[in-house]
Amino acid sequence: MKLEEYLGEKLGKSQGMDEEGVSVLVFGLAVAKSMVLSFLGIILVGILVGQLLGTLVIAVTQALLKQITGGPHCSDEYRCTVSGMLVFGVLGYISPFIWPHLSFAVSALLLLPLFVSILAWAPRDCPEKPIDSPAHRRRLRNLGLIAAVGLAALLYCLYAYNQPAFAAWVVEGALWQAVLLSPLGVWFIHGLDRGMIKAAAWFSRRSAGPS
């Protein structure tokens, strides 16, 4: 039994919830656990690459956009955490080599792929939770475009207050979300997920030894 299932059943029974209420509580606990794991993983990898603040800003920027516009997921919360650590670790590591070469004009130009991805593919839902309502899809797409415009305004403020590093981190998060919305991003995440599943199976066979 998973931790969220155990806690959800205990809390649900203590509060007199019915089966549906317990299911909702378990789902909420699972989401919270996944968020905590991802946050701790990003902190760890940020420390390891020596770019804690940058890695966090990149991750938060992408996560906020993903909440609105969607994106692919790994099939397991732990693999989601590992994939996030890998991607944000790389993005955080390369950020010091990027921001000295950016200006507001270049950064604003680099936001164009986000607008294109939102118009073409947002919201990127998942098969387990499809968004069937056309009105809801339009609303999320429009919210995504508003968020992208807000990021452009944020970039202007960051450069106005001489914060090019923060601007570069925001751009990296936005670009990664643009990639995730595209078919290439879906292919990458699903391929990474399958690769981790195969690697885990291989390590399991190795640890078990010959039968």
Q: Using the predicted structure, report yes or no on whether residue 169 has a pLDDT greater than 60.
A: yes
Q: Using the predicted structure, report yes or no on whether residue 25 has a pLDDT greater than 90.
A: no
Q: Using the predicted structure, report yes or no on whether residue 31 has a pLDDT greater than 80.
A: no
pTM for the model stands at 0.88
Collect all residues with Cβ–Cβ distance below 8 Å to 161 and sequence separation of at least 6. Answer: none
Distance CA 172, CA 1 (A): 38
Nearest to 151 by CA among 69, 47, 80, 31: 69
**pLDDT at position 151:** 96
pLDDT tens-digit series, residues 145-156: 999 999 999 999
- Average of pLDDT values for 131-159? 94
**pLDDT at position 1:** 56
- Average of pLDDT values for 168-182? 97
Residue 168 CB neighbour total at 10 angstroms: 27
Nearest to 69 by CA among 99, 25, 113: 113
At 3, list the tokens.
């931790």
Nearest to 61 by CA among 143, 175, 200: 175
**pLDDT at position 44:** 96
Average pLDDT of the chain, as a whole number: 89
Q: Using the predicted structure, report yes or no on whether residue 131 has a pLDDT greater than 90.
A: no
Q: Using the predicted structure, report yes or no on whether residue 7 has a pLDDT greater than 80.
A: no
- Average of pLDDT values for 107-134? 90
**pLDDT at position 161:** 95
CA angle 65, 70, 73 (to 5 degrees): 115
Q: Using the predicted structure, report yes or no on whether residue 211 has a pLDDT greater than 60.
A: no
Q: Using the predicted structure, report yes or no on whether residue 32 has a pLDDT greater than 70.
A: yes
Confidence of residue 62 (pLDDT cuts 50, 70, 90): very high
> Do the Cβ atoms of 83 and 193 come closer than 8 Å?
yes
- Average of pLDDT values for 18-44? 78
At 38, list the tokens.
């991802």
- Average of pLDDT values for 77-98? 93
